[in-house]
Structure 1
Amino acid sequence: MLGNKECAHLLLAHNAPVKVKNAQGWSPLAEAISYGDRQMITALLRKLKQQSRESVEEKRPRLLNALKELGDFYLELHWDFQSWVPLLSRILPSDACKIYKQGINIRLDTTLIDFTDMKCQRGDLSFIFNGDAPPSESFVVLDNEQKVYQRIHHEESEMETEEEVDILMSSDIYSATLSTKSITFTRAQTGWLFREDKTERVGNFLADFYLVNGLILESRKRREHLSEEDILRNKAIMESLSKGGSLMEQNFEPVRRQSLPPPPPNTITWEEYMSAESGKAPHLGRELVCKENKKTFKATIAVSQDFPLGIESLLNVLEVIAPFKHFNKLREFVQMKLPAGFPVKLDIPVFPTITATVTFQEFRYGEFEESIFTIPDDYKEDPSRFPDL
């Protein structure tokens, strides 16, 4: 925020965690984008990716042991996306996901390739995690329509990193946090005259329904680093995406961005900064241009005592497939302190305007052909098939 590059590089050299966030939900990378020094943004982005890879590798032995101890099974879950925004619900997708687990291998089949706020991309996709393979080769994604595959967690090229920096420097800085401090659960009721606790079957499982109270989704969007031209261009891109267009159709090419002129020198003293109220430190750096949005999120959750899989086992499986974006949201939600039992149906916020209902529809123990966990011989490697992975 103050442009002290030497301090920042020294911290990075000693592996200071880049993922940390302040009380407002901003990370060092967000502040670097606001300040606008290209070299600093690139250094933070590289370190963030390196630390993410190291974190995955660190968890790997524990994860493999947990998978070994778990029986082999087939699990089917359904995603239904909804929105309170008029007309948006009509274009939102649904998706049936099939998960196969055998030994230390996992396969996830899905028809939803990518899903962002106003855009969904359909296809026929399989994620395969092979626990016996070296870390750099253990996770692949297959495009079953085009018969190609891509390895995930591959080292990015210089060109890919530079292009990502261009996109970061020309886009809004976004932060979304799910506040669970005041969350409570109350039993859902049914009946008009004689009220009683709601208990229904979800798939093959009897489940108790609860209302989730006090869940708040806070989102913040900053654009002090953007020019008027950037803002108009981004608006045009979003409008085109909302009408079903694609970035390719617009010849969207990130323009090579130069560093911004530094903001005016800061006048806040060290004493003023240190004596500020906790969580409300004065803002340093470029003057904020920030929009905030708070939305109370109403949700229902159904938990079953009969489901054969435990929460810990589910979390281990979800951790393996977390690179798939909305599965990471499900993992974060399930980590909350939920009522006792297995959450066979739950509502989770995936974006400020969009909610997903996840239903666990089928579970059975079983064995599978080894071939479903391998790349078919006639598939060709395409390292750039899924640029977001």
Structure 2
Amino acid sequence: MRKRNIEPAGQIENTKQDGRFNPQYIRNTPLHLAVMLGNKECAHLLLAHNAPVKVKNAQGWSPLAEAISYGDRQMITALLRKLKQQSRESVEEKRPRLLKALKELGDFYLELHWDFQSWVPLLSRILPSDACKIYKQGINIRLDTTLIDFTDMKCQRGDLSFIFNGDAAPSESFVVLDNEQKVYQRIHHEESEMETEEEVDILMSSDIYSATLSTKSISFTRAQTGWLFREDKTERVGNFLADFYLVNGLVLESRKRREHLSEEDILRNKAIMESLSKGGNIMEQNFEPIRRQSLTPPPQNTITWEEYISAENGKAPHLGRELVCKESKKTFKATIAMSQEFPLRIELLLNVLEVIAPFKHFNKLREFVQMKLPPGFPVKLDIPVFPTITATVTFQEFRYDEFDGSIFAIPDDYKEDPSRFPDL
């Protein structure tokens, strides 16, 4: 493909914001096109030149999502490995700036609570809550939690500690401790061939999800209290006086695709969800992983290049396997409490959250507080985590403090277990 042909398809000029692509303006990148058209040579050439795998098109789909739909196992594996490599490189690229920000920030103790809720009755029964304790000293951070990760399919519980050691080499910096089993795992370890193959099996047998939090029309209005004499709501949250606001226009747009799944896959996934809704644990189920074979390629596409590039922006014709997609939009009613008394600024909180971004629910919090919020610090807020699940996050306590340096080290009697937390 000549360069003049690639540019209209990607339309990625002026779409970077804070180092990230803005999917609102992207049709498909060259890597999207190569994957959807089954052009392996072109796709591998783009990957060799570090084409971004995480970037999404206007519909919210990444090249990896399109590869899963197409069903070529080799291509899915190549994209998955490149995605993990690019994620590691991104962390290393941000490291100098992050360490500088941590050095300038005073040492402190921060405690925050997570409470997950859902409007789905059966789902509400299995949703977790958690109290997190964060210790920051110098360029080291420790997070104590009982919830290491949470998805709509499962949660991982236990007595867990996450440690970031800024003085260590990048490959040694991130560690998760299981304080019950007295083992630890380094995050961003190189996966074995078997681990990668098992992850590909899961991707090929599961729905493809895309969720986008739309804040285009978001606004904030003061929450009111009282029946006869209405006044702005102001209450204490923990030790801090806060003004309460209603969040208006917050929409979660979600899409789910399953054109790559067989009827057997759909029935098995439904059985897993039914078991979870009754209080079961996915780790206790006897759903044996099945080694997936590549799917038969979809029929060759008949859309011409002229038809493709002349399509309206954001509405380019689909080039891969025929879509089986369910879309939904949910408007969230949320409340946020902003305190002028909280000692930490949002900008400094973002630096801390960036360190613990491997925890998906903390990354959701980070994305939310990056919005233009009312004055103050968000000591209590509601955030959408999944289409059916919201979380209330409350900052209960904050104080500047000093700690024994040993809390940021791996205890001598802990043993390394590289597979303790397979999702990290």
Q: Is the 8 A contact 2:71 2:297 kept in 1?
A: yes
Q: Is the 8 Å Cα contact of residues 183 and 215 (structure 1) preserved in structure 2?
A: yes
CA distance in 1, matches of 2:89, 2:124: 39
Q: Does 1:191 align with 2:226?
A: yes
Q: Is this contact kept in 1: 2:161–2:177, CA < 8 A? A: yes
| 2:154–2:282 CA contact under 8 A, matched in 1 | no
Contact (CA 8 Å) 1:119, 1:244: kept in 2 or not? no
Counterpart of 2:282 in 1: which secondary structure? Answer: coil
- Contact 1:174 1:219 (C-alpha < 8 Å) held by counterparts: yes
Work out the CA distance in 1 between the residues paired with 2:119 and 2:59: 26
For the 8 Å contact 2:247–2:334, the answer to whether it is kept is yes
Distance, in Å, in 1 between the alignment partners of 2:149 and 2:214 is 26
Greater Cα shift, 341-350 or 231-240: 231-240
Q: Counterparts of 1:388 and 1:118 in 2: how far apart (Å)?
A: 13
Deviations 1:298-328 (A, max 9, x none): 1100111111101111000000001011101
RMSD over aligned Cα, in angstroms? Answer: 1.1
Q: CA deviation at 1:159?
A: 1.2
Deviation at 1:119, TM superposition (A): 3.1
Structure 1 residue 113 displacement after superposition: 3.1
Superposed displacement of residue 91, structure 1: 2.7
Task: Decide whether the 8 Å contact of 2:163 with 2:174 is kept in 1.
Answer: yes
Structure 1 residue matching 2:130: 3-state secondary structure: strand
Report which stretch shifted further, 24-33 or 240-249.
240-249
Gaps of 5+ in 1: none
Query: Could you tell me how far 1:120 is from its partner in structure 2?
Result: 3.0
Please give the secondary structure, in 2, of the residue aligned with 1:153. Answer: coil
- Deviation by residue 1:329-387 (Cα, 9 ceiling, x = unmatched): 10011111111211000000111111100000000001001110001111111111111
Whole-angstrom distance in 1 between the partners of 2:282 and 2:182: 23
Match of 2:364 in 1: 329
Query: CA shift at 1:253, angstroms?
Result: 3.0
Which has the larger displacement, 353-362 or 186-195?
186-195
Distance in 2 (alpha carbons) for counterparts of 1:246 and 1:150 = 22
Moved over 6 A (4+): none
Q: Which moved more, 1:232-241 or 1:170-179?
A: 232-241
Q: Which moved more, 1:6-15 or 1:95-104?
A: 6-15
Structure 1 length-normalised TM: 0.98
Per-residue CA distance 1:22-63 (angstroms, 9 max, x = gap): 111000000011001111111111110000000000000000
The corresponding residue for 2:167 is: 132
Distance 1:144 1:278 in 2: 52
1:249 Cα shift?
2.9
Q: Does 1:152 align with 2:187?
A: yes
Contact 1:29 1:44 (C-alpha < 8 Å) held by counterparts: yes
Deviation at 1:268, TM superposition (A): 1.1
Q: SS where residue 312 of structure 1 aligns?
A: helix
Please identify, of 24-33 and 111-120, the stretch whose mean Cα deviation from structure 2 is larger. Answer: 111-120
Alpha-carbon spacing, 1:152–1:178, altered in 2? closer, same or farther (3 Å) = same
The separation in 2 between residues aligned to 1:220 and 1:124, in whole angstroms, is 34
Q: Aligned residues, how many?
A: 389
Q: CA deviation at 1:121?
A: 3.3
CA–CA separation in structure 2 for the residues paired with 1:58 and 1:225 = 36
Aligned-pair CA distance for 1:191 = 1.3
Q: Distance in 2 between matches of 1:8 and 1:17?
A: 11
> Shift in Å at residue 84 of structure 1?
1.0
TM-score normalised per structure 2: 0.90
Residues 125 and 279 in structure 2, CA contact (< 8 A), matched pair in contact too: no
| Cα offsets for 1:256-281 (capped at 9, x unmatched) | 11111110111111111111111011
Deviation at 1:138, TM superposition (A): 0.5
State the Cα deviation string for residues 133-162 of structure 1 (Å, max 9, x = none).
001111100011111111101011111111
Distance between the aligned counterparts of 1:254 and 1:3, measured in 2? 26
Choose from 352, 367, 371 the match for 2:387: 352
1:3–1:35 CA contact under 8 A, matched in 2: yes
Contact 2:54 2:83 in 1 (8 A): yes
Q: Is the 8 A contact 2:244 2:335 kept in 1?
A: yes
User: Could you list the runs of 5+ residues in structure 2 that have no partner in the other structure?
Assistant: 1-35
For residue 88 of structure 1, report the CA deviation from its aligned partner: 2.8
SS in 1 for 2:283: coil
| Contact kept? 2:126, 2:277, Cα under 8 Å | no
* TM-aligned CA deviation for residue 118 of structure 1: 4.7
